[in-house]
Amino acid sequence: MTTETTNPVTIEAPEGLPYVDIERVFDAPVAAVFDAHRDPEKVKRWLGPNGYDMQIERWDFRPQGGYRYVHVDPDGGRWAFNGTFHSIRENELAVQTFEFEGAPDVVSIESMTFEDLGDGRTRLRGHAVYPSLEARDAMVEHGMAKGVTEGYERLDALLAERRPS
């Protein structure tokens, strides 16, 4: 399920640099957006591309906590990811590692900042640094924009459930 939004996602992968910046505004308070990243039952409803089933094996959203999940595509293909949460500041920041198990030893470090814009709106900024330009380019070329965009549309729908009509 998706919801209409006027808040586009911006994804920048600067030429020659091994990082990606992602930015998106949500029409929901910081605490709700942060909680949607912390609570595994909520994460499972929005993270990743449309049509994939998300199976969370571990989601320990705290400093030095870890995670592992598997996305199962409509044809039964399995795509596993894991990492460690490093720094977590309530309603402000989350820093984690991220590894696609199909490309072992290619680990990115990602930070997400949650900015209160007032009026019940939040700006989410992500910054992911890869070990090489080739690793960054492979991530971008294998559907990152589709997964992020579709996931954030589902996050909009999840957050809208909390808002009064």
User: Using H for helix, E for strand and C for coil, what is the string for 38-88?
Assistant: HCHHHHHHHCCCCCCEEEEEEECCCCCCEEEEEEECCCCCEEEEEEEEEEE
pLDDT on residue 2: 42
State the CATH number of the domain containing residue 76.
3.30.530.20
Q: What is the pLDDT of residues 129-154, one digit of tens each?
A: 999 999 999 989 888 899 999 999 99
Which pLDDT score, from 0 to 100, does residue 4 have? 52
Name residue 94's amino acid: A
Q: Which domain holds residue 52?
A: 9-161
In a domain, 2, yes or no: no
Q: Is 76 inside a domain boundary? A: yes
Whether residue 1 is predicted with pLDDT greater than 50 in this model: the reply is no
Q: pTM for the full model?
A: 0.92
Q: Is residue 91 part of a domain?
A: yes
DSSP 3-state of 121? strand
The domain tally of the chain equals 1
* Mean pLDDT estimate for the chain: 93
SS3 call for 98: strand
Q: Which amino acid is at 6?
A: T
Residue 3 has pLDDT above 80, yes or no: no
Q: Is 81 left (phi over 0), alpha (psi -120 to 50) or beta?
A: beta
Query: Is 3 within a domain?
Result: no
Q: What is the C-alpha separation between 30 and 121, in angstroms, rounded?
A: 7
| pLDDT number for residue 104 | 84
Query: What band does 59 get if pLDDT is binned at 50, 70 and 90?
Result: very high
What was the pLDDT predicted at 163? Answer: 63
133 within domain boundaries: yes
Segment 89-121, tens digit of pLDDT: 999 999 999 999 998 889 999 999 999 999 999
**Model confidence at 126: pLDDT above 80:** yes
Q: Is residue 83 part of a domain?
A: yes
- Looking at residues 24-45, what average pLDDT do you find? 98
Instruction: Report yes or no on 1 lying in a domain.
Output: no
Residue 5 confidence (pLDDT) above 90: no
Q: How far is the C-alpha of 113 from the C-alpha of 48, rounded, in Å?
A: 19
